[in-house]
Structure 1
Amino acid sequence: MLSPCPFIQWGMDIVGPFPLATGQRKFLLVAIDYFTKWVEAEPQARITEGEVMKFIWKNIVCHFGIPREIISDNGRQFQDRRIQEWCQGLHIRQRFTTVAHPQVNGQVEVTNRILIQEIKRRLERVGRNWGRRTNQCHVGLQDNPQRVYGRNPFLTSIWH
C-alpha cells in the first residue's frame, strides 16, 4: 500500500490478548503510517470504539494532524456507528480489509509480528510489566532504517 506523503494514511489493528499486565492491560492498539512506517502503539485493558477514538486523537491527530484515511479490519471497535460518525466529522475516510485477506493491511501485520516478538521477549524478563515497556518496543522500530527509503521513520518524516 503506497501513500503519497507522510501521516495521511494509517493502518490500525488490535493485537492480543497477552498475559495480563499491570493496569489489567492485555491488548495492544497499533497504528502505522504507510509512508514513513512510523509506529504508534499503546497497551489497553479493553478495546472499545471510545478507546480507539481516544487513541487516534492522542497518538495520531494531536501529533501528526488529521489523516485522510485509516485502514483497519472489520472489528466492531472500528465499525461502530459512533466511530464512523466521529471519523466522518473529521473527514477521515475509513477503509476496511476483507475478513479473509488481512494482508491488505500488510504493513500493520508485519509490525504486529515484530511487536509480538518483542513483547514475548520482554515477558520472559519483566513479566507483568510488559505494558510499561511497549514504548521501548515501538521506539526501536522508529530507529530502524526502512528498505523503501533507506532511512528510519523519523528521518523519512522530516526529509521526504
Structure 2
Amino acid sequence: MPRALEHQSPTSGAHATSRKPLSIRSMGIRLSRSFPTSHGQRKFLIVTVDYFTKWVEAEALAKITEKEVIKFLWKNIVCRFGIPRALVSDNGTQFLGNKLREWCKGLVIKQFFTSVSNPQANSLTEVPNQMILQHLKTRLGSAKGAWVNELPSILWAYWTTPRTTTGESPFSLCYGTEAVAPAEVGELSWRVKHYDSKSNAQGMRMNLDLVEEAKEKAAVRVAMYKARMAKAYNAKVRPRNFQVGDLVMPKAEASGPIGKLDPKWEGPYKVVEIVNAGAYKLQHLDGKDVPRTWNIGNLKKYCA
C-alpha cells in the first residue's frame, strides 16, 4: 500500500513522476462486528489491505457509519499512502451509501462490490482479518476487553512477516528494506551492531533502486500462487452454473438474519445477467430487479 521512499534521479520532475507506478492499485476493505466493548466504547474493527504488497491497516471503531469509513480511509490511507485506484468491499450499508460513493467519485476511486454473503470473494481482505482475530484470541485469553491495546503489535507482526504469495514482507515491498525488530535491539543483530550512517545511507539508496525489481519478482510469485490455488480449487468443484432466464432460489440467510421457523430459501427469481463466473443478477418475476449480485454458492435451481 505505501510506496517505497523514492531515490530521486537528476532528471526527476513532473515528467519523471508521471511515469512512476501508482503507490496503490486495488485494495479491499472489511468491517468486523464480533468484538467485546473496549475503552471508548469501541467494539468494531475496520480492516483494509493492499492487494499487491499485502500491507494491512486496521482500526478499532465505536461506530461503523459511512462517516467513520470515510474518516478512516482519508486518515489511514489517502493522507499516508496516496489515492487507491479501486476499493473492493461487501454490500454493507456503510459502503453502499451516497456519502462514500460521492467521496470515492471525487477522488476517482472505483468501487467494486462482492456478491451477497460471499466474503471469500474478497478473500485478500478476509485472510488478514481472520489472522487478526486469531492472534487476538491467542494473546488475550480472558481479558477480551483489552483487544484494542494489542492491535498495533499484531499489525507490526503482520507487516514484518514474509507472505506466502509474494515471498516478501509487506514492509520490505513498501519501504525497500526490512524493519529493525525489537529482538535485534535486545540481542544486537549484525546490521545493528555494525551500523555506520554513511554505508547505511548507501545501502538504502541501493535498496530503493532495486525495490521495483523486488516488486516485479513478487508479482510473478503472486500470479503463480493464484494459478496453483485456482487449479486446486477447480479440481474439487463440481461444475454448476445458471443461464439467463433460469429460475433460481437464493438462501434467505444471505439477505439477513432469519428465524428458526422461517423458510431457508426465497424466490423464485429469474437470472437476468451473468456478471462473471459464479455471480448473477436476479429479477423478481414481476420484472423488479433484486438488489446487488448473487454468488452461485447462495443459489439453487428452482424446481416447480
- 1:53 Cα deviation (Å)? 0.3
- 1:129 Cα deviation (Å)? 2.0
Indicate whether 1:68 and 2:68 are aligned: no
Equivalent of 1:32 in 30, 35, 49: 49
Indicate whether 1:55 and 2:49 are aligned: no
Q: 2:113 and 2:156 mapped to 1: Cα distance?
A: 27
Deviations 1:15-55 (A, max 9, x none): 12211111111111000000000000000011000000011
Q: 1:151 and 1:17 mapped to 2: Cα distance?
A: 31
Q: 2:38 and 2:161 mapped to 1: Cα distance?
A: 27
Kindly report which structure 2 residues correspond to 1:1-160, keeping only aligned pairs within 5 A, or say none. Answer: 6-124=23-141, 126-157=143-174, 158=176, 159=211, 160=215
- 1:137 Cα deviation (Å)? 1.1
The 10-residue stretch of structure 1 (13-22 or 114-123) with the greater mean CA deviation from structure 2: 114-123
Deviations 1:52-88 (A, max 9, x none): 0011011110111000101000000011111100100
Q: 2:148 and 2:117 mapped to 1: Cα distance?
A: 30
Does the CA-based 8 Å contact 2:69-2:94 persist in structure 1?
Answer: yes
The residue matched to 2:35 in structure 1 has which SS? Answer: coil
- 1:95 Cα deviation (Å)? 0.5
Q: Which gives a bigger RCO, structure 1 or 2 (Cα 8 Å, sep 6+)? A: 1
Q: 1:48 and 1:66 mapped to 2: Cα distance?
A: 21
Q: TM-score, normalised by structure 2?
A: 0.49
Gaps of 5+ in 1: none
- 1:153 Cα deviation (Å)? 0.4
RMSD: 1.6
Q: 2:99 and 2:55 mapped to 1: Cα distance?
A: 27
Deviations 1:122-150 (A, max 9, x none): 33264322112211111111011012221
Gaps of 5+ in 2: 1-20, 177-210, 216-304
Q: TM-score, normalised by structure 1?
A: 0.92
Counterpart of 2:64 in structure 1: which amino acid?
I
Larger radius of gyration: 2
The 10-residue stretch of structure 1 (97-106 or 74-83) with the greater mean CA deviation from structure 2: 97-106
The 10-residue stretch of structure 1 (78-87 or 5-14) with the greater mean CA deviation from structure 2: 5-14
The residue matched to 1:28 in structure 2 has which SS? Answer: strand
Aligned length: 157
Does the CA-based 8 Å contact 1:6-1:33 persist in structure 2?
Answer: no
Counterpart of 1:93 in structure 2: which amino acid?
K
Identity among equivalent positions (%) equals 45
Q: 1:139 and 1:120 mapped to 2: Cα distance?
A: 17
Counterpart of 1:14 in structure 2: which amino acid?
L
Q: 1:34 and 1:90 mapped to 2: Cα distance?
A: 19
